[in-house]
Every structure is written in C-alpha cells, then in structure tokens.
Amino acid sequence: MSVIDRTADGGRGGAAPSVVVLGATGFVGRHLCAAFAGAGWTVTGVARTHPPVPPPCRTVTLDLVRAAPERIARLLAGHGARVVVNAAGAVWGVSAEEMALANDGLVRRLVTAVASLPRPPRLVQLGSVHEYGPGPRRGITEDTPTAPVTPYGRSKLAGGLALLDAAAAGAVDGLVLRVSNVSGPGTPPASLLGTVARHLAEEPPGPLRLAPLLAHRDFVDVRDVADAVLAAAGSTATGRVVNIGGGRAVPVRALVTRLTELAGRGAEITEVPSPGGRPPEAEWQRMDIALAGRLLGWRPRRGLDDSLRDLLAEARAAVRCDPLSSAVQVGAASMSPSGTV
C-alpha cells in the first residue's frame, strides 16, 4: 500500500497541505482546527451546524450522520484533503441507536469514501478509552483486551475496528487514537468537569449534586490531544491503535476539590448515590502512553492545574455571556464522573 506524501508541501508544488476536520465545531474539533492552522495547514472544518471556527479555517455544513459515502468523497476531493481527522460523534443525551449511527456508521461510510478516491487521504480516527471497558490497575496498553460496557464504548470500538480492518486490507492509510478523558478550555457542560466549572462560575454558586466521586480517571488536556493528532497526521504509522492520555490515574474527588481551590471560592457540592449504580469501568483508569512516544514523538505537555485554570476562565466567560443558560445547565441533577471525547 502506498503511503501518502505529507512533507511540507504535500507533494503539490509548495501549496500548504490540506486537512479536513470532521466535527470541527465540537470541543475537540475546534482545538484541532486551531492546531493545524497554526502549523501551516489549510484547514476545512465540517459540522452539522455552522458556528464560527477559529480563522483562517473554513467551515462546511454537512450532516455527516446521514451523508452518503459519495457525498463525503466529493467533499474530501473538492478540498484536496491530504489528511482527514474524524472528531465527530455522539456522547451525551442521545440513544444507543443514535450513538451507533454517529460513532460506527459514520466511520464505515467515511472509510468507504476515503478508499474510493484516486489519492486516498490519510485518516485519523479519534477513539476513546471507553472502548477498553474496565481497565487493569497496572495500566491500559494498546494490547489490553477491549470489553466496553456502555453503548458509547461499544459504538466507538465498532467504528475504530472498521478503520483498522480497512487498513489491514490495504484500502486506507491511518490510525486510531484512543483518547482518555479530556479537559481544558471549552470542556462541555454535560461532562463532570464542565458541570463543576460552570457551577463555580455562577454568582454566587448554588448547590450542586453529583454522583459519588469514587473513580480514578486518566485526564489529558484538549490542546495536548490536538498536538497528538497533528503528530499522527505527519506520521507514516498505519493500521495501529495508539493511546493518548495523561498517563496517570487521578482521583476524581481530588480533581473536583482542586477545581474549587483554583476557583478561590467555596461551593456546596453533595455526592448522591446514582440509581442503579455505575458501570465498573468508572472505578480505575490509567492509559499507558509509551507507544505514542515511540511512534509519534508525543507526550502530554500541559499539567492538570493549567488545564483546570483555563477551563475555569472559559466557563466564567460563558456565564458572563449567558448566565441564565449556564444556571440551568449546572443546576441539573447529578452527573456521572464520565468526561470523555
């Protein structure tokens, strides 16, 4: 199988290499667009909705969940994609069927679209640590058996396997990056950290009810994730799974406490048992990220304190812009400590 030329000019006579980012207006997607643009790439973002993305990125509106492979192929060819990054998908507030369409079906149609092109672009799929399911305390390596216990984890695994199967058959060139829980500026309010940050940004913060904070989770800053994707785009490694995470298990209760300390204010946070309990994967999680260092030359550079400070700063800005919307979001019932891609 041929390997795509991803040198500085992409083999096109001095033109900047072109990347298409799917899910460009989402939490991770916006940071991906900024990182690629900062590295000199021509960036086209694709999303179902069309809020602004960081300039000079272009945005194309397309419902990827329902788009046929032929439509996706025309889009990629029309923008001269040398690399495609799939940061699209469904996480919160949707049914298992909708997750399957967004996290599995989309990837299968994307793989078909990419393989049909005369010069197939390189494909980077953003997977999730939840594809592994309950993790061993010695750490999750890329060889750890996958046994997801949630619809989200199962749908992400199915999508990633579709890419890996196509790569094994020589139809596409690309990687699956399995990403741990993501923090940093723009963390969605539906996640644990986003919920707590919005709560702390209120004037004054009201009471907040959370599920028991018993878990240990691996967290990585969203800008470090963007750096990893940028490294994967320029790599020649293909047909592999690569873990992207912080590399340590962080007590979730301690993380919430640290958020309140950095916010410089007290808050009434109550832990309330969730009906039916939580899946066992919530208890312990640590990614082994050695392979990312060897294959991609990547390691996380931002500490959790920096990530949390920037999360709080953006949450405060969001509350100033729309205090009523924020209050409704953080006032919602208890949240699980699952914060993921």
End-to-end CA distance of the chain, in Å?
31
Q: Is-cis flag, bond preceding 56, omega within 30?
A: yes
Distance CA 238, CA 170 (A): 10
Out of 132, 152, 284, 298, which one is annotated catalytic?
A: 152
> What is the three-state SS of 10-46?
CCCCCCCCEEEEECCCCHHHHHHHHHHHHCCCEEEEE
**Cβ-count burial 313-333 (b if 16+ within 10 Å, e if not):** ebbbebbeeeeeebbebbeee
Closest CA to 174 of 189, 157, 162: 162
Is 152 a catalytic site residue? yes
- Whether 37 and 54 have beta carbons less than 8 Å apart is answered as yes
CB-facing half-sphere around the CA of 257: CA atoms within 13 A:
7
Q: Is the dihedral of CA 54, 57, 63, 65 positive or negative?
A: negative
Helix H segments across the chain? 27-38, 69-78, 96-100, 106-116, 151-168, 192-201, 222-234, 252-263, 290-296, 304-321, 323-330
Any idea which residues carry the catalytic annotation?
152
